[in-house]
Structure 1
Amino acid sequence: MDQKPQPAATSFQQKITCYLKYNEERKAKAMLFNPNQGNLLLKVLPFLLHCNYPDLPGFIDDADCPYGIHLFNHTEEFPHELFRRYFPNSTALRSDRPSSFSEKPCIHSLKTIGSIGTIAQSTISDCDYWVSIRKEELGKKGLQLLQEKCRAIEEWSMKRGSEVHFFLMDIDQTKENNFESETDEESAGSSIKLLLKDELFRTHILVAGKMLLWWFIPPGLTEGEYRNFVHNLVSRNKIRANDFVDLGYLSDIPKAEIFGACLWQMNKALDSPFKSVIKFAYLELLLHGTTTTLPLFSDRVKCLVTYQEKLPAEEQGTIDLAEVDPYILLARDIIAFYKQEKSEQKRASLIQECLFLKTLEGFESQKNTKFGQTSHLKATMEMMQAWHLLPENYSHFLRFRDWKYKELIGFGAKVHDYLIETYKRLRWIFKSFGADTGLTITERDISILGRKLFTFYEQKPNKIDYIRSVSRDLMEQQNITIHITKYEGVFYYYAFQGQLDHESVKSSVESVIKREDNLVRLIVWLLVNGIISTKTQIHLTKNFLPIDLVDIQKLTELLIKTFPIIHFSRISPANLLKRETVLRALAIVNFEKEPAKGSKTLKSTMVTENSYGEYFIQDYTTAIQLKNAMRTLLTQHYVSRWNNNLEIFIPPQDEQSYIKNLIER
């Protein structure tokens, strides 16, 4: 049912009403997208943070463990029926048991940050929570115990299929934009604190606890004016201070912040480049301003929700809070920015395509919608069309999962080219900055992020190269067919998309993914680039080699187990500042099952992964060479079977025991 546009809110109470309505709309979108995940993220996890009971996830057996969320009413927020569904055997709510709730809650406000409840939410979206606390209330031990509790809940949630992260953020430090230590692993630290705060303000959902006072402070104030405004609100009893949390104010963002954020988005793009395109474009949009400080997009969202009187006259009273989506608003402004110049039209089109592709990640959620409801995808497409955000060729992207490999690589290359070109343009802009601009990114940040870029793009001998894909998550294939041919005495191994047989491969040249003269190298390359996963079915056409499908399947299973897919944005910064070291290895011995007894040769392949996120593959022709390589791994990198970071794979064959004894003695 269509909702009427909201009139501009003038009184403070009206603004609170508008904000709460907007927040509920965001929650409703998250629930509609995926009801099970929505319940978990918005109801179950807050409840687990609010209580501490032995038979519930996240229990910490220490009387000093702080827990509880201010203003959280568990009977309203987590109905008994839902409690029983998730924890049928728990006695936490029984009246004859000690209360599992704290009289002194320690979490002032619990908020999501990012794509949850927006057009950009997907079935594989993780969820970051900004947990506002006061460290002085907790003490050192209390903070450690609360962190332990949060980690336990994260692990429980992961087992249920939802990746979540709780970031404990001190209110006073956040207010002063001083939260580097809390974001070291997830950001460039010193370089993006203001941009991160801007993202929090414009994308968050209030899950539980106190509202952000920021929503009710007029945009465009100076720091001094903000402090006076807050003082007057409290002194004149316009608000109850305990109902709000003040995380400070942002009046603008210095251009000096942007370069570090550009580097960081390049780093994030290595995992899923199409997701970073919009954020990268936002940075370019910001930098084209003529002043040394930049306007906040979060203020734009605030005006639409609680300060519509600050909008142009023609927009006032026309806003439907259900249609206020931070990602759509941002994309619309970016596309309008690029369309100003004819030469930039292709970039505007790419933004539309990437936004739509991000939306398509949630395609599976359609099956969760109830009868009579508009599906998530259909509703989103209608909204995008109304805002002129649908790409011209959207029907082609609807069939994304059916694209041929060359189409995937072609689009991925276009995305990577955009990111690299934009990065070069932004570097040129920064070179024009005066000495007084004061870049905030540190040499350490540059070293860390530069190392990751080298890891991805740099070519080295025996290194498995990463392809410039759209996203390794989206490169995954349901079916891969291995086809073997022989030409001029050399065997060649092909990987095809789909399930094919010896005859159909001849007419499926467009489905070829890669050709190699080494089958193990081919399988490793497919794995490293996310093309093969646990969900992939592998097929083998008829051939005359002793290699069979079972050998390939067992090797693939062991490779996946030994080498989990790397997420570059999560590689430890500390590791990148040290000399690289081998973390784990897999030796594949006599995969082609050639006679070993009495032979001078024993072919083997060693696959290694290092601390920079690079994979290497090395072939050996004798047992001595392999044993020397294993000795080097042990003495220089502490990689061995005894340390549980070296695996040896010998496919079943008549001489399997002989080969095993040969390399172990």
Structure 2
Amino acid sequence: MTRPHEIRPDLDEGIDRKVLSQLRARFLKLNEGRMARAMEGLSTRQQTVLTLLPLFFHVNHPLLPGYVSGSTPAGLSNYEPDANALAEAQRLTRSFSYKPRHGSNPPRPIHGLFLMGSLGTLAQADQSDMDVWVCHGPDLSESELTELRKKCQLLEIWAASQGAEAHFFLIDPTRFVRGDRDTQLSSEDCGTTQHYLLLDEFYRTAIWLAGRTPVWWLVPVYEEPSYDRYTHTLMSKRFIRADETLDLGHLAYIPPGEFIGAGLWQLFKGIESPYKSVLKLLLIEVYASEHPKVHCLSLRFKQAVFANRLDLDELDPYVVVYRRIEEYLTARGEPERLELVRRALYLKVNRKLTGSSSRTQSWQRSLLKRLAHEWQWDHRQLALLDSRSQWKVRQVGSERRALVNELNYSYRFLTQFARNEQTVSLINKRDLNVLGRRLYAAFERKADKVEFINPGIAPDLAEDTLTLVHAPNKKESGQTQWGLYNGSLTAIEWEHFAPIKRSRQLLELLTWCHRNGVIDSSTRLALHPGSSDLSEFELFNLLGSLQQSIVLPLTTVAEEPLLRASVPSEVLILVNVGVDPLKHHRDLNILMTTERTDSLSYAGVRENLVLTLDQVTLNSWNEVLVSRFDGPHALLDCVRDYLNNLPDGLQQPTLRVRCFCHNRAQFIARRVEEILDTAQNLLLSKLNHRYLIQVQQHYHVLELVPGQVNHVALATLPALVDYLGEELASYSPLHLDPMALEDHDLALVLPMGQPDCIQVFYRINENRADLYVLDEFNALWQQRLPYHDEQSLLVPLQRFLQSIQYRRDALLPMDVAQPLSLDTLYYQLLPSGPVRARRVEARPAPQTPVNKPFYDVQAIVGKAAPEQVQVTLYCNQREFSELEHGVRLFSVVAREIVEQRRETERYRCYITDLDLSGLLGDGQSSSILYLRYKADLERALNEALEQV
């Protein structure tokens, strides 16, 4: 029997109605074959659903599923139920009796039913959905459409009761052609932007169930650009009747923006399920590379029908897609990408070709077998793919590389295409940026980031048994590493195996295992701790902490966080992982009892028990990062980095601090958490705080500027005092850790700081006294002086502070609002004497004695040579300058002072006034700078007095 020739209708030569009938018959024959294949893969109850759907849309009957009311639109064009459908309906409800619709031309508002999805294709599976397009007339009212939607919802519920997942989509062909349709039409649709690609998929995959057939079937591919004219001629010359066909539009041109929109959507889905997206991404690439003259697959499909090439296998929707991609990649010379496409298709079909099949071989298995043979796949390759459910880390690793390369290539291709076509709207540009960040977050490697190796490649990477080994790193002398091995291995065995993964740090390895599901609650772990102090108890709790902080599976990141920089959402800090801070005591079997229990300054030797910190962060982009801190500044460096990564605003990360080491674990964790909480609260207050912490005998200050937190390490108490005495540009509160500066006067002084005043503190200790001043910006000045009485101690300082306040006020322009004069507040530290000060008491300002006039010594400091200053002193208005006396200035002034004094007793001399305008110009400076110059000048002057 010879195959009929190719049909090539030509309007100019005239069209035979028989030819059109022949064309329609070919499409229906192919449709019948697909329908039979779809039915073959369904259960009896699911088959009943497909058989009865046309009847349910044809009649309204209270006893049938989907009944809403007698006014629900019903009547399916060109449909009369056959005996099989009526028999199935009567099996469903015995009292149902079908009555044909009366009248010469009864209304039939339902124009056609079409089945979309993978039913009847190579990829049909037991769980395949039934996506049904319900095409209806354009004249249905809103109330009628509401009733029809309700009917569809009831039919979905009934189908589910029969084991079928059905979804119905109402289509008004007139509106559809205009691009006006329901945005919920398809989950593959990504909104309303991919109209033509959706239509392309419909024409080449839909199975006609009943009603009118598409007029598109009858338009030759070469007439596609003239589709409207051609169909108009068919209708106007009555080659076809209006009630025979429905018109959903043509595919002569696909706008380039559709490729971008569809590509973005498939890439988005491909991040979590790459195999499912590979075929569609490659097809989009093929189409985009042909633009603007895209010969889409539906046109190829139609051309095959016109040519009478009705091979069901070769016209299978998935085979058609594969063949076109195969042509494209072969022409480009990209065999690796083609092999990935083949694997993606094989895994999508999910019919194992290895192992014996007890059931009758399905047509899908036969077709897949033929394809695998064509691809020259051997048994080993098939067995590997068939064992995908058992794939573990090693198999997933190589596959991930190919998939990630493909997704990244697709992203670059789409970006370049959008640029070339100049189709980047603001929405597309944002979508491209967001998608780029999704790909970056999911797959890009960077420092400290834990690599996610299983984006939908294998269902479960969890191992039954693993061995964790800590051993010397043979490639780096003096260094150690952690290795993870398959199985339960002894100390002798593990050296003969290659590890699944190795890491310098334990937490990096454990976090990788957790993030990738390599270790789960059922995994048994053998531990060889080596030189570490890691115990099985600690290991178990470390894994538990990771599971609590990073709950898997991670939810998909919304678009909004990707429009901003990533910020931490969960932070887990683990202290002393695999380290015992008191190991030397444990080794010597020493049980320590001490009242000094601070974890940063423990016992009499003031040991720091916080030796290492591992920080695990899950951020707002779903990236997991691990940072390690060790060394003398580990804690403060960790706190600084944690604070510098905090987001602005109220939404702060969840912080957990855990410690499971051998000694004092809970106390250590609590101490670290207190410091972190305090620092975070101070930072978020945005008051320019400094936070002072003592570790052993060393001091640390965190300067809490949002986003620029700085850690200042100070080795000694004098270094700390020097730091606290540095000039500040604005008020900076100082928060003192409760355990810092124990037994020191500063522990009482520093927390008292207040803005907009000067605070003077003094402590009397027999024949000497300590003065502390906190200036208006909270900088500290300290001086130790001989003590005679409170007046001689405080009045010179009081007069000096009054003088500099007067000078600064005088420098202000007259039109500037006068600031409030700084109050000077006085406090005494008590008790006096050599014992520890325990309290602070406010004191009144000292009173200047009327019968004891002060000897005025005024100093003016100005600029001299570069980096040098020039000093001029005035004693009772008499000038003494360096210009006149040179290095003997202070000796000359000292002699003058002695000569002017009436008393023979030598007592201290004070600077009562100081002018720094020669140094500062018109600028202002805080009181601390004046106090520093005062102290230096007084030191030089009083040393000279001793020599007179």
User: TM-score, length-normalised on structure 2?
Assistant: 0.50
Is 1:176 aligned with 2:160?
Answer: no
Which residue is 2:278 aligned to? 277
Is 1:456 aligned with 2:442?
Answer: yes
In structure 1, C-alpha distance between the alignment counterparts of 2:571 and 2:61, rounded to whole Å: 43
Is 1:483 aligned with 2:477?
Answer: no
Distance 1:63 1:546, change over 3 A: farther
Distance 1:300 1:350, change over 3 A: same
- Where 2:401 maps in the other structure, the secondary structure is helix
> Which amino acid in 2 is paired with 1:324?
L
Q: Deviation of residue 648 (structure 1)?
A: 12
- Where 1:479 maps in the other structure, the secondary structure is coil
Is 1:23 aligned with 2:19?
Answer: no
Alignment of 1:331-346 (within 5 A): 331-340=322-331, 343-346=333-336
Encode CA deviations 1:42-61: one digit per residue, 9 max, x unaligned.
5799999999999999x89x
Which residue is 1:220 aligned to? 222
Q: Deviation of residue 298 (structure 1)?
A: 0.6
Q: Is the 8 A contact 2:31 2:208 kept in 1?
A: yes
Deviates more, 1:42-51 or 1:454-463: 42-51
In structure 1, C-alpha distance between the alignment counterparts of 2:359 and 2:147, rounded to whole Å: 47
Is 1:300 aligned with 2:300?
Answer: yes
Which residue is 1:412 aligned to? 400
> Which amino acid in 2 is paired with 1:117?
G
Q: Is the 8 A contact 2:46 2:162 kept in 1?
A: no
Encode CA deviations 1:435-487: one digit per residue, 9 max, x unaligned.
6x8989733433443343333245577654433x5x51525236343322223
Which residue is 1:232 aligned to? 234
Which residue is 1:89 aligned to? none
Task: Show structure 1 runs of 5+ residues with no match.
Answer: 85-92, 309-315, 641-645
Which residue is 1:199 aligned to? 201
> Which amino acid in 2 is paired with 1:449?
L
- Where 2:650 maps in the other structure, the secondary structure is helix
Q: Deviation of residue 121 (structure 1)?
A: 4.4
Alignment of 1:591-630 (within 5 A): 600=599, 608=618, 610=620, 612-614=621-623
Distance 1:323 1:503, change over 3 A: farther
> Which amino acid in 1 is paired with 2:248?
L
> Which amino acid in 2 is paired with 1:18?
R
Alignment of 1:11-160 (within 5 A): 11-32=19-40, 35=43, 39=47, 42=50, 70=76, 76=84, 80=88, 93=93, 95=95, 109-121=112-124, 130=133, 132=135, 137=140, 139=142, 146=149, 150=153, 153=156
Is 1:328 aligned with 2:314?
Answer: no
> Which amino acid in 1 is paired with 2:369?
M
Distance 1:270 1:438, change over 3 A: closer
Of the two, which has the highest radius of gyration? Answer: 2
In structure 1, C-alpha distance between the alignment counterparts of 2:216 and 2:115, rounded to whole Å: 16
In structure 1, C-alpha distance between the alignment counterparts of 2:268 and 2:446, rounded to whole Å: 20
Which of 638, 650, 658 does residue 636 from structure 1 map onto?
Answer: 650
Task: Show structure 2 runs of 5+ residues with no match.
Answer: 8-17, 100-105, 473-477, 530-534, 582-596, 600-608, 678-948
> Which amino acid in 2 is paired with 1:23?
N
Which residue is 1:87 aligned to? none
Which residue is 1:312 aligned to? none
Distance 1:258 1:549, change over 3 A: same
Alignment of 1:187-586 (within 5 A): 187=189, 189=191, 192-206=194-208, 211-222=213-224, 224-226=226-228, 228-229=230-231, 232-233=234-235, 236=238, 238-239=240-241, 241=243, 244-255=245-256, 257-289=258-290, 292-305=292-305, 307-308=306-307, 316=308, 319-340=310-331, 343-359=333-349, 361-363=350-352, 371-374=359-362, 376-383=364-371, 385=373, 388=374, 390-392=375-377, 395-400=380-385, 401=387, 405-421=393-409, 423-424=411-412, 442-458=428-444, 464-467=450-453, 471-474=455-458, 476-477=460-461, 479-487=463-471, 500=488, 502=490, 506=494, 509=497, 512=500, 517-518=505-506, 525-526=512-513, 528-529=515-516, 538-541=523-526, 545-547=535-537, 562-564=551-553, 566=555, 573=559, 576=562
In structure 1, C-alpha distance between the alignment counterparts of 2:397 and 2:573, rounded to whole Å: 29
> Which amino acid in 2 is paired with 1:362?
R
In structure 2, C-alpha distance between the alignment counterparts of 1:214 and 1:131, rounded to whole Å: 17
Which residue is 1:313 aligned to? none
Q: Is the 8 A contact 2:489 2:526 kept in 1?
A: yes
Distance 1:417 1:579, change over 3 A: closer
- Where 1:174 maps in the other structure, the secondary structure is helix
Q: How many residues align?
A: 608
> Which amino acid in 2 is paired with 1:363?
K
Encode CA deviations 1:276-334: one digit per residue, 9 max, x unaligned.
33333333433444x733122111112323x22xxxxxxx4x53235421221232233
- Where 1:373 maps in the other structure, the secondary structure is coil
Q: Is the 8 A contact 2:156 2:165 kept in 1?
A: no
In structure 1, C-alpha distance between the alignment counterparts of 2:281 and 2:483, rounded to whole Å: 37
- Where 1:379 maps in the other structure, the secondary structure is helix
Distance 1:578 1:162, change over 3 A: farther
Q: Is the 8 A contact 2:63 2:96 kept in 1?
A: no
Which residue is 2:592 aligned to? none
Encode CA deviations 1:328-348: one digit per residue, 9 max, x unaligned.
12322332333335x434444
Distance 1:378 1:557, change over 3 A: farther
Q: Deviation of residue 13 (structure 1)?
A: 3.6
Q: Is the 8 A contact 1:68 1:106 kept in 2?
A: yes
Alignment RMSD (CA, Å): 6.2
Q: Is the 8 A contact 2:354 2:382 kept in 1?
A: no
In structure 2, C-alpha distance between the alignment counterparts of 1:277 and 1:581, rounded to whole Å: 31
- Where 2:222 maps in the other structure, the secondary structure is coil
Encode CA deviations 1:154-202: one digit per residue, 9 max, x unaligned.
9996x99987766555533421234484479755556533223212222
Encode CA deviations 1:561-594: one digit per residue, 9 max, x unaligned.
x543556xxx655665578788x86979999899
Higher relative contact order (CA 8 A, sep 6+): 1
In structure 2, C-alpha distance between the alignment counterparts of 1:339 and 1:113, rounded to whole Å: 30
Q: Is the 8 A contact 2:214 2:245 kept in 1?
A: yes
Q: Is the 8 A contact 2:502 2:509 kept in 1?
A: yes
In structure 1, C-alpha distance between the alignment counterparts of 2:57 and 2:510, rounded to whole Å: 44
In structure 2, C-alpha distance between the alignment counterparts of 1:152 and 1:461, rounded to whole Å: 54
Q: Is the 8 A contact 1:191 1:440 kept in 2?
A: no
Q: Is the 8 A contact 2:48 2:88 kept in 1?
A: no
> Which amino acid in 2 is paired with 1:356?
Y
- Where 2:321 maps in the other structure, the secondary structure is helix
In structure 2, C-alpha distance between the alignment counterparts of 1:577 and 1:287, rounded to whole Å: 27
Deviates more, 1:134-143 or 1:212-221: 134-143
In structure 1, C-alpha distance between the alignment counterparts of 2:82 and 2:503, rounded to whole Å: 58
Question: Identity of paired residues, percent?
Answer: 22
> Which amino acid in 2 is paired with 1:454?
Y
Q: Deviation of residue 247 (structure 1)?
A: 1.5
> Which amino acid in 2 is paired with 1:396?
Q
- Where 1:363 maps in the other structure, the secondary structure is coil
